[in-house]
Amino acid sequence: MSHNYGSTIVNNSDKIAISAVLFDLDGTLLNTIPLILATHRHTFNKILGWIPSDEVILATIGEPLVRTFGHYGGEKGPEMFREYFEWSAPRTTSHVGVFLDVIPMIEQLRQEGFKTGIVTSRRGESTFSFLEAFEMLHLFDVIISVDDTKEHKPKPAPLLCAMERLELDTPEQVLYVGDAIHDLKCAQNAGMPFAAVSWTAMDKDELSQASPDFWIDEAFDLLRKVERVKSEK
């Protein structure tokens, strides 16, 4: 079945009124997917002696690595975790890029008065390393990594933590932007609207069937879909 993954809001409503935009990191702002795939292949092959398919790897993106490696590696999970970051760390900038126009789009959001943040399942150290490498750290009012909450995507805790730190209390006025089913379910569980990016490497049919509020074809589409509400506090 074919689907329209264009930028039309799914429910055909007008712009949504929000006060903040929270972004996933991997596959949403940064094109880390090739590095993630390569590092998974290396780690699984070295520690477990086999290589998972890309489909298996992609299905785990959005959940904490410790959970993924615990599931597949059992007692070797911690060893896989260490190997993953040792192998990927020196390849951060050489194997990763920023998606087209996301930086000027976020700058424009901030100029228009929206609060902005990152909510990712990546470790804090790694998250800050990426943002510093691409000179993006100053673009965000809050950064929530896997280290900041006991519960993780698809549970709502990471998004609710970001809201608390932004001193916001109306989830309907906070938009989450992501590329994966774990992102979408996290937003739905938090009561937030969700925008799916069409440059996702994930299964678009699966993501579409889970009913994102709208899709964005390119970064600046987001600016055409939102309008600012007055501060809640």
Q: Which residues are catalytic?
A: 24
In our burial notation (b when 16+ CB lie closer than 10 A, e otherwise), range 166-190 reads bebeebebbbbbbbbbbbbbbbbbb
Nearest to 175, CA basis, from 114, 217, 123, 122? 114
C-alpha to C-alpha distance for 226 and 48, rounded to whole angstroms: 46
CA distances from 51 to 56, 107, 218 (A): 10, 40, 33
CA distances from 74 to 49, 71, 79, 100, 147 (A): 14, 6, 10, 39, 21
For the chain, the farthest-separated pair of C-alpha atoms sits apart, in whole angstroms, at: 55
In our burial notation (b when 16+ CB lie closer than 10 A, e otherwise), range 130-152 reads bbeebebeebbebbbbbebbeeb
